[in-house]
Amino acid sequence: MKALSSASGPVAFDTETTGLDPQSAELVGIGLALQEGEAYYLPVGHADGPNLDPDRVRSALRPFFADPKSRLAAQNAKYDWHVLHRFGIPVRDVAEDTMVAAYLADPDRPKNLDALAATRLGIEKIPTESLIGARGREQKSMAALPVERVGVYCCEDADVVLRLVPILEKELRAVEGLALYREVEVPLVGVLVRMERAGVKIDTAALEGMSRSLGDAMSRLDHEIQEAAGVPFNVKSTRQVAEVLFERLKLPKGKRTKDGYSTDEEVLETLAPLHPIPRLLLDYRQAQKLKSAYVDALPKLVHPETGRVHATFHQTIASTGRLSASDPSLQNIPIRSEEGRAIRRAFVAEGAKGLLASFDYSQIELRLLAHFSHDPVLSEAFRVGGDVHTATAARLFGVAPDAVTPAQRGQAKTVNFGILYGMGAARLARELSLSRSLASAFIDEYKKTHAGVAAYMAEMLARARERGYAETMLHRRRPLPGLRDSHEGRRAEAERAAINTPIQGSAADLIKVAMVKIDALVTERGLRSRLILQVHDELLFETDEDEIESLATLVIEAMEHALPLRVPLVVHRGRGKNWDEAHA
């Protein structure tokens, strides 16, 4: 182990474990690669041994993993970081993550280690399946295999990682992505580890109550629907629902799906005035969604040891640079409907003194649009500080802001969002229930009153076409080969992505910078408060009465000044015993 501390270059590490979830999987062995072609395997958890004494492994490795001068490298370091931490080897920080690097080189290309080995090194790695079989119920555990076989496999992984580091670094330099990688994405790995480890407390008793009442509502609605239909059918089956609505009841068919007719919310909403069943179906679907996706799902994810829910945040999934979350998907917890907000109230702070504090960016994407486009109208709206949708409506309808009606504001809001997504007249017409030509006139009027925005979008598209990729504030790139596709539909799709990605992706850049800064400041000041969730434009902290004000000062400052913009960034804050209360 002497060699470890004297290693000057990066040291790649890899863990083999008993499962896929790093918060419950147990360590089987550790692989370390100090130079190419040379790697070591430390077995600690093989059922039949021989294993090294875990305590000796801990004492031998702790100094190295705790040393800020160590340059640790791994594929998806977040996973190994969790496992080692739980094993008793705290990780100070990592310097390289090949999965993150590959994601920045091209977010849409495969970035699992086998793929990276094949595309960057021309190496065909030992297939994982050859050791533990295909994933599924019959998959074996690494712990059940001989040390020799797992060791070779693990060493190969570590070796491949070590070889990939300089290659990916070169790729990142070539795409101007090195600063984003080193200053934002790699530091973020540790932030995400700490968020995942913290988890969030759930009021399971409240959810159990909701489960019963939702279940009752569902059986009642199911009964009413079957009664009204006059034939028994599975209300959960879209195919059978379509048959009942469009063949038996002869209701007007709307949009098509791949095979058959759609029964989605929009269709059911238009059919609701014609027959009682569509409304009942809508109610049934809402109850079913809330019950299965949240109320019944969340308690199953409570960790037996911590009593909290520890989601996984994915740093290399979203093409735009956003984070995603799974198990559970914490970024789509209901808020829009009152029924759904009850679920948010089950996300609570720990202990009697505990508080949740939420901070969210106000209109971050439209502010970024104002920043990028220099559009005077949009920029002025943000500098003045009023409601942006009202300001847009005032321009669009040629009235004073105080004269804007709620309906006009709603239409302007739809237009504003539509602009961010590259919406066409057809969709706007549908959204606003206008004729297509009127919708088209709307868009023309917007482009006239917001000439800077129109010019910016045209410029953005032209640049993306020329370069073949869209780019964010921090030079995050998203290659868009679809821009040159001969298929018109796919080309149009890529064009909309070219318009939206710089906005959505720059918003992701901003909040990631803020997260890294906040994490460092919270540690530096020795605060107890913990960042527990990120929902694209919102950060949720668990804190307490004594600390919340100093936390808020620090967080708001970091978020509002994460990166300099030509328009002010505004953060709203809220606090409470649960997430619904805390949401600003």
Binding residues for DNA restricted to 340-359, rule: CB under 7 A: 340
Asked if 465 is part of the footprint of DNA (rule: CB under 7 A), the reply reads no
Restricted to residues 488-517, the positions that interact with DNA (CB under 7 A) are 488-489, 492-493, 496-497, 500-501, 504
- Among candidate residues 89, 315, 107, the one with its CA nearest the CA of residue 196: 315
Residue 172 beta carbon to DNA: minimum distance, rounded to whole angstroms = 20
- Using a 10 angstrom Cβ sphere, with 0-12 exposed, 13-18 middle and 19 or more buried, the burial of residue 294 is buried
Asked if 319 is part of the footprint of DNA (rule: CB under 7 A), the reply reads yes
Asked if 249 is part of the footprint of DNA (rule: CB under 7 A), the reply reads no
Beta bridge mates, 575:
357
Q: Which stretch binds DNA (CB under 7 A): 115-123, 156-164, 518-526, 530-538?
A: 530-538
Asked if 476 is part of the footprint of DNA (rule: CB under 7 A), the reply reads no
Q: CA 160, 164, 170: angle at the middle one, nearest 5?
A: 170
Q: Which stretch binds DNA (CB under 7 A): 98-106, 180-188, 233-241, 539-547?
A: 233-241
- Among candidate residues 29, 318, 349, the one with its CA nearest the CA of residue 157: 29
Q: Which stretch binds DNA (CB under 7 A): 49-57, 80-88, 203-211, 239-247?
A: 239-247
Asked if 220 is part of the footprint of DNA (rule: CB under 7 A), the reply reads no
Q: Which of 106, 283, 327, 557 binds DNA (CB under 7 A)?
A: 327
Is the sign of the CA dihedral 75, 79, 82, 84 positive or negative?
negative
Residue 51 beta carbon to DNA: minimum distance, rounded to whole angstroms = 34
Residue identified by tokens 């580890």 is: 193
Residue 386 beta carbon to DNA: minimum distance, rounded to whole angstroms = 21
Q: Which of 55, 266, 380, 549 binds DNA (CB under 7 A)?
A: 266
Q: 228 or 403: whose CB is closer to DNA? A: 228
Q: How many residues bind DNA (CB under 7 A)?
A: 73
What Å distances lie between residue 455 and 130, 177, 300, 368, 379, CA to CA?
55, 27, 50, 15, 15
List of residues 6+ apart from 295 with CB closer than 8 A: 207, 210, 211, 214, 343
What mask, x for binding DNA by CB under 7 A, covers residues 423 to 462? Answer: xx-xx--xx-------------------------------
Angle between helices 77-87 and 54-66 (to 10 degrees): 130
Is the sign of the CA dihedral 384, 390, 395, 398 positive or negative?
negative
Residue 186 beta carbon to DNA: minimum distance, rounded to whole angstroms = 20
Residue 432 beta carbon to DNA: minimum distance, rounded to whole angstroms = 9
Q: Which of 230, 336, 400, 526 binds DNA (CB under 7 A)?
A: 336
Asked if 62 is part of the footprint of DNA (rule: CB under 7 A), the reply reads no
Buried b (16+ CB within 10 A) or exposed e, 271-285: beeeeebbbbbbbbb
Q: 119 or 362: whose CB is closer to DNA? A: 362
Q: 271 or 535: whose CB is closer to DNA? A: 535
- Using a 10 angstrom Cβ sphere, with 0-12 exposed, 13-18 middle and 19 or more buried, the burial of residue 527 is middle
Buried b (16+ CB within 10 A) or exposed e, 399-438: eeeeebeeebbebbbbbbebbbebbebeebbeebebeeee
Asked if 204 is part of the footprint of DNA (rule: CB under 7 A), the reply reads no
Asked if 283 is part of the footprint of DNA (rule: CB under 7 A), the reply reads no
Q: Which of 24, 226, 292, 550 binds DNA (CB under 7 A)?
A: 292
Asked if 297 is part of the footprint of DNA (rule: CB under 7 A), the reply reads yes
- Taking the alpha carbons at both ends of the chain, their separation in whole angstroms is 52
List of residues 6+ apart from 138 with CB closer than 8 A: none
Asked if 219 is part of the footprint of DNA (rule: CB under 7 A), the reply reads no
Residue identified by tokens 């072609």 is: 37
SS3 133: coil
Q: 197 or 285: whose CB is closer to DNA? A: 285
Restricted to residues 29-58, the positions that interact with DNA (CB under 7 A) are none
Restricted to residues 360-419, the positions that interact with DNA (CB under 7 A) are 414, 417-418
Q: Which of 46, 163, 285, 395 binds DNA (CB under 7 A)?
A: 285
What mask, x for binding DNA by CB under 7 A, covers residues 534 to 573? Answer: -xxxx-----------------------------------
- Among candidate residues 23, 37, 25, 178, the one with its CA nearest the CA of residue 96: 178
Residue 244 beta carbon to DNA: minimum distance, rounded to whole angstroms = 12
Residue 356 beta carbon to DNA: minimum distance, rounded to whole angstroms = 15
Distance, CA of 440 to CA of 325 (rounded, Å): 37
List of residues 6+ apart from 448 with CB closer than 8 A: none
Asked if 128 is part of the footprint of DNA (rule: CB under 7 A), the reply reads no
Asked if 306 is part of the footprint of DNA (rule: CB under 7 A), the reply reads no
Distance, CA of 499 to CA of 503 (rounded, Å): 8
Distance, CA of 268 to CA of 282 (rounded, Å): 7
Q: Which stretch binds DNA (CB under 7 A): 63-71, 151-159, 199-207, 320-328?
A: 320-328
